[in-house]
């Protein structure tokens, strides 16, 4: 058996990846974990868009990263949001507001709590009613409703999630990203047309 060498993974503030073996100088930067793994000689299968962008969970090991904000299921929020911020943000959410997912935006100091009523049942769920809180100033906005859809919902959770079949969701991403030759739209009506055009529905 090949002896494994301890590897220290380093992620900088610009979300670039580096690694360091023992006392050697750090190697990098790499744009993502896929690039790093390929450099180390690991043959891994990843989901990519038609432009070649890698679709993978955030640097926290869970969550979908978009523009610096992390979209994640509430079950894993404490693995992404610092404990003090998470506690403060939850205090601003009324008891009657039920949510399944959140959007954590550390750059803006905001957390959006999303109802996501069909998260477990829909292939591409909707945010539904949302409530955004400013945890730095300890204020909450008025609820807003969004009818857009999310792609790759498996990014929001880890493989141990029981609400839906995570493997099945990943396989769906692999299927349509391998056939769709344009940007996937986050509107249900247009998305349906795209699926039909590429023979996916």
Query: Each residue of 124-159: pLDDT tens digit?
Result: 999 999 999 999 999 999 999 999 999 999 999 999
pLDDT of residue 33: 60
Point out the residues of the chain with pLDDT beneath 50. Answer: 1-4, 44
Residue with tokens 């609820």: 143
For residue 16, the model assigns a pLDDT of 64
Angstrom CA distances, 70 to 2, 13, 44, 105, 121, stand at: 37, 15, 24, 7, 21
pLDDT of residue 2: 40
pTM above threshold 0.75: yes
Running DSSP on this structure, what letter comes out for residue 183? P
């Amino acid at each position: 058996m090949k002896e494994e060498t301890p590897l220290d993974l380093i992620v900088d503030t610009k979300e670039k990846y580096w690694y360091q073996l023992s006392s050697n100088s750090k190697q990098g930067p790499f744009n993502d974990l896929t690039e790093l793994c390929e450099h180390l000689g690991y043959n891994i299968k990843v989901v990519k868009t038609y432009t070649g962008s890698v679709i993978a969970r955030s640097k926290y090991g869970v969550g979908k990263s978009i523009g610096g904000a992390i979209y994640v299921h509430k079950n894993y929020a404490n693995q992404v949001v610092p404990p003090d911020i998470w506690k403060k943000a939850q205090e601003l959410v009324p008891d009657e507001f039920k949510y399944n997912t959140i959007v954590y935006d550390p750059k803006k100091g905001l957390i959006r709590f999303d109802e996501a009523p069909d998260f477990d049942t829909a292939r591409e769920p909707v945010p539904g009613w949302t409530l955004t809180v400013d945890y730095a100033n300890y204020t909450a906005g008025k609820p807003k409703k969004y009818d857009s859809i999310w792609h790759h919902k498996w990014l929001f959770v880890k493989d141990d999630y029981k609400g839906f079949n995570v493997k099945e969701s990943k396989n769906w991403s692999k299927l349509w990203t391998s056939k769709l030759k344009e940007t996937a739209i986050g509107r249900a009506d247009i998305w349906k047309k795209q699926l039909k055009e590429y023979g996916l529905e």
